Amino acid sequence: MAIISFKMNQQLKDNNRYLSLLNISDVYSISSIVKIIIYSLLGLLIILRVIQQLSRSTRLIQNETVELSLVIGSFPNYCYYESLGFRYRLSRCEHYSLGEKLSLSGKLDPSSDTFFFGQKELIIQDIKVVNNQGSLGQVLVNKILKLIIIVRSYFLKQAKQLWPQPHATIILGMVYGLQEKLPESLLSRIKITGMQHVVVASGFNVSLIAGLSLWLLTKLKRFYGLRFWLLSTAIIIYSLISGLSPPLSRALVMAILSLAAKYLLFRQYKPLWGILVTFLFFVYINPWYLFNISFQLSMSATLGVLLVNPALSQVSSFFLAASLNDLSKIFEIKSRGIVAQLKGELSESFLVTLSAQAFTLPLILHHFGELSLISLFSNTFLLWLTPIITITGLISLLIIIPLSFFSIIEPLISFFLLILVWLPTEAFIRGTYFFSFSPDLLIQIKQLSWFQVWFCWVIILSGVSWSHYHVKRS
């Protein structure tokens, strides 16, 4: 009893500390004029950065030689290397090791995209390995990067031998964001069902790692600062091992902002501000992100869930409550237990899918001109398998790979873990085949222009505001 009251007192103390810090930060909050000045300066900085990048593009287009740097981050095609916005074609096919930092100079391939931020192919004339050049900090960062990339390649090499194909590609796509080629037959089925987004690592993976780390750090309740640094390190290492794809980078920055708000600044995290800061951060780091399709889709899906989902939930709960009341009155039904939980899961899955698609659909129509007629249903009924595959896949890899390193894999354990992940993945594959019963479910339409995309978004946002207003009034 005494222990319980002590714990409660500690919790109250923690809460008071939290509240007092919140008040202090409120007291010292900067005035709105200073805020405007800071935001304007930030905006200016980003504009300057974009202009700087534009000048590099202009120099390329004018056929000048430019210098760039590149870290070999994935198993290379030894005649080509790629980074965001650029494809480097080597004049002589050469192989560089994972994690090596290269300094390149080259000219634009005349047949390349001449739009300022388009994907450019460069003919590389000079390459230098610059691993051990620069300040001590840079050299150290390069060495850490190299180590992480080598760990990643070891993980992937081992993981590929754990499951059969195409299961391995799907699991590694969900857990690590590995973008290996799926068999053509399955890929076309996934396209029909509009489930391509599932086979990439994104916000869910980052929150999963943060959740696991948080569970491991339950003892550090009061060390908020330490918690922040440990959680951030965990998700940064995971994101680096996973290859820092644009959606994962987006999720990483948003997660760090959210953790900083919670554990360092003791302020309420506002996701909409989070997404805006993340967006500006990436535009500053590399404006090519703006023209990266994965980044655009990841941003718009998050924005859709943040903006549209609350409004949709309000509307649906309003109508659903009314209809359920009527039904229960007529049939005297009370939904309980698993059925109610399942219904809740499915309706949530449906609403999240609808919200994300509301914002991503115009973009998909702009880039690909394809519309999946079954995507809403396939996502509703198959999306719940994603966290199961990701969690079991991650756990299996975390258990099996260290064991394989010491060559002590117990066949029964590996067989059990194999089944644990294989079953939901098989269900996902079979579900995909089931929902893609006809190729006519994927229709080709005229690609939307950017003006049309923005017009759609404005319409959706107006609808959201209108429904929000009306539900509130009701």
**With CB under 8 A as the contact rule, which of the stretches 92-100, 125-133, 284-292, 323-331 interacts with another protein?**
92-100
Here's the x/- map for another protein, 375-404, by CB under 8 A: it reads as ------------------------------
Assign 105 to helix, strand or coil. Answer: strand
The CB-of-167 to another protein minimum distance in angstroms stands at 7
The CB-of-157 to another protein minimum distance in angstroms stands at 7
Q: Measured in whole angstroms, how far is the alpha carbon of residue 157 from the centre of its chain?
A: 23
Assign 235 to helix, strand or coil. Answer: helix
**With CB under 8 A as the contact rule, which of the stretches 36-44, 158-166, 187-195, 295-303 interacts with another protein?**
158-166
The CB-of-362 to another protein minimum distance in angstroms stands at 33
Contact with another protein (CB under 8 A) among 60, 98, 104, 168: 168
CB count in 10 Å sphere of residue 267:
14
Number of residues that bind another protein (CB under 8 A): 30
Contact with another protein (CB under 8 A) among 165, 188, 233, 465: 165
**With CB under 8 A as the contact rule, which of the stretches 124-132, 165-173, 300-308, 440-448 interacts with another protein?**
165-173
Does residue 415 bind another protein (CB under 8 A)?
Answer: yes
Does residue 164 bind another protein (CB under 8 A)?
Answer: yes
**One-character DSSP codes across 152-199:** HHHHHHHHHTTS-TTHHHHHHHHHH---PPPPHHHHHHHHHHT-GGGG
Pairing of strands 101-108, 66-71: antiparallel
Here's the x/- map for another protein, 417-436, by CB under 8 A: it reads as -xx--xx--x----------
**With CB under 8 A as the contact rule, which of the stretches 154-162, 218-226, 287-295, 463-471 interacts with another protein?**
154-162
Does residue 150 bind another protein (CB under 8 A)?
Answer: no
Contact with another protein (CB under 8 A) among 10, 77, 325, 341: 77
Closest to another protein by CB, 162 or 253 = 162
Phi, psi of 284 (to 5 degrees): -70, -45
Q: What is the largest CA-CA distance in the chain?
A: 79
**One-character DSSP codes across 285-318:** H-GGGGG-HHHHHHHHHHHHHHHHHHHHHHHHHH
Using CA atoms, how far apart are residues 307 and 294, in angstroms rounded to an integer? 20
The residue written with tokens 């966290």 in the block is 387
The H-or-E segment that residue 431 falls in is helix 411-435
Binding stretches for another protein (CB under 8 A):
77-79, 92-95, 157, 160-168, 180-181, 183-186, 415-416, 418-419, 422-423, 426
